[in-house]
Amino acid sequence: MSQAPALGHAARDEDGKIFLMSTPPPFVVLVPIKPPAVGKSRLATMPDQQRISLATAFARDTIAASVAASGVAQVMVVTDDHRFAAVAHADGCLVLPDGVHGDLNATLVQAAHESKRRWPAYWVAALCGDLPALKPDDLTAALAQVPAHGAAFVADDLGTGTTMYAARALSDFTPEFGFDSARRHTDSGALPVPGALASLRQDVDEAGDLGRAMVLGVGAHTAAAI
């Protein structure tokens, strides 16, 4: 397993070229995306086309904010939807297919291994793809609090779910997304990231969540889809 080098130490990029680390190693952000046609099922009261358009827009705004965040070197979208894969690629992301069908956490671990294979010096974060109000500064602030050892996570606005999970070492990257994930991440020893971080905590599962995201200010893709 490759360890992130200390500041001022040499590291190698995916092409084997040596470079000097003068700042903390940046993150690769993994964004898993369900096919928009089946995503956001709790918005089912909306017409199908509007729900699909919104799910796509949420993901694109999440990606755009991630790309713009300081300390993020790459955004890697994990999806089996070939249409969204093409959109994500056009938005400047690398794309991987789901590694383990039906198992989000195993898929993220596999994607983290691929990230480390390509960029051994970079750290890894997983980010939910339904954060339409995400501000780059909130993501930057959260990533800056990932500890040297172990993992950290950002709880959602309700305090029960998780919107971001990150670790510096691959051996510490053991996500527990799913039901009651905030408790399970805490039980696993992951550090809850403090601070307001309102735009990073406000995921959208239901219509009321979208209203709260709109108060925070949604990204351009979601604004156009509403």
Q: Which tens digit of pLDDT belongs to each residue from 136-168?
A: 999 999 999 999 999 999 999 999 999 999 999
**What is the reported pLDDT for 51?**
87
Q: Report whether 84 contacts 36 (CB < 8 A).
A: yes
What's the fold here for domain 10-225? Spore Coat Polysaccharide Biosynthesis Protein SpsA; Chain A (3.90.550)
**What is the reported pLDDT for 41?**
61
| Residue 38: pLDDT over 80 | no
SS3 43: helix
Q: Report whether 195 contacts 143 (CB < 8 A).
A: no
| Residue 189: pLDDT over 50 | yes
Q: Report whether 70 contacts 25 (CB < 8 A).
A: no
| Residue 6: pLDDT over 50 | no
